[in-house]
Amino acid sequence: MELRHLRSFAVLAEEQHFGRAAARLHIAQPALSQQVKQLERELGTPLFTRTTRRVELTEAGARFAEHARTVLADVTRAEDDMALLASGRAGRVSVGFIGTATYDVLPRAAREVRAALPDVDLELRGELLSPQLVAGLHDRTYDIALLRPDPLNQGDLDVRPLRTERLVAVLPAGHPLAGRSRIALSSLATEAFVMHPSGHRSSVHARVLEACAAAGFTPSSVLEVGETATLVVFVAAGLGVALVPEPVRSLGLDGVAYVPLTDAPTIDLALATRAGDDSPAVRRVAEIVAACV
């Protein structure tokens, strides 16, 4: 059974006139008649009664018309969905965010993607570490990741730098330096530090240690936590001080003060996708996310 035969049948069922139906279908009337006859042979029953003046549906024809309308509507929806998919306006896209990008970029990106691409099935996950995100890109848990670019790319990822973020000091609200407009990092040399995980689990940990070394000291006491929000809560609880990228300010947690540093160290934020990923939806979402940074 061919779709063109179904379409011809449906139009003829509406018009109940071969001439008008043929005109709508842009085919010759004899061709329409042949299509209907072929369909009747396939189904083994007459679909129309024909007179010199009009064409009427038989009982079987009226029942088959319901099936034809359903099939043709499903085909139209499938064609529309494929067109959306091909243009990048439909599909599934999963985006992972490091902790700091979770607070300022993720909410904006979610709003913008929903507004521009309402038919895209968007999955968002925040408060992740860069190594987790790289692994997630490799195993296809994530299609797009906002992460720290250093030095994780083995050549199988497309990494686009988005911005450079200054590190700021996070101090308990009652700390003697909390009211300063700016402090030197060396003034925290005797403090306990709350930091992201060490080793290959977080690129921020290494960057903070580098900054402390450049300021002439190594933290004597370090408490490691996995999530940036938890890190700030621990500082508020008086368990130490911390260095975080400036966008963490948007967390808005009580009990801490964010104090700029003189000669502030910086860390980069980048957008990563799998090299050669040709998904139109991934490309469209990646552009929107990048524009939100």
Does domain 3-86 fall into CATH 1.10.3720.10? no
Q: Is there a contact between 258 and 127 (Cβ–Cβ < 8 Å)?
A: no
Tell me, yes or no, if the two domains 3-86 and 91-162+269-291 fold the same way. no
Residue ranges covered by each domain of the chain: 3-86, 91-162+269-291, 165-266
pLDDT digits (tens, 9 = 90+) for 91-138: 788 999 998 898 889 999 999 999 998 888 899 999 888 888 998 898
Residue range 257-277: mean pLDDT, rounded: 93
Q: CATH homologous superfamily of domain 91-162+269-291?
A: Periplasmic binding protein-like II (3.40.190.10)
What is the percent of the chain with per-residue pLDDT over 90, rounded to a whole number? 46
Q: Say whether pLDDT at 78 is over 90.
A: no
Q: CATH homologous superfamily of domain 165-266?
A: Periplasmic binding protein-like II (3.40.190.10)
Q: Specify which of 29-38, 111-120, 153-162, 176-185 reaches the highest per-range mean pLDDT.
A: 176-185
Split at pLDDT 50, 70, 90, the class of 70 is: confident
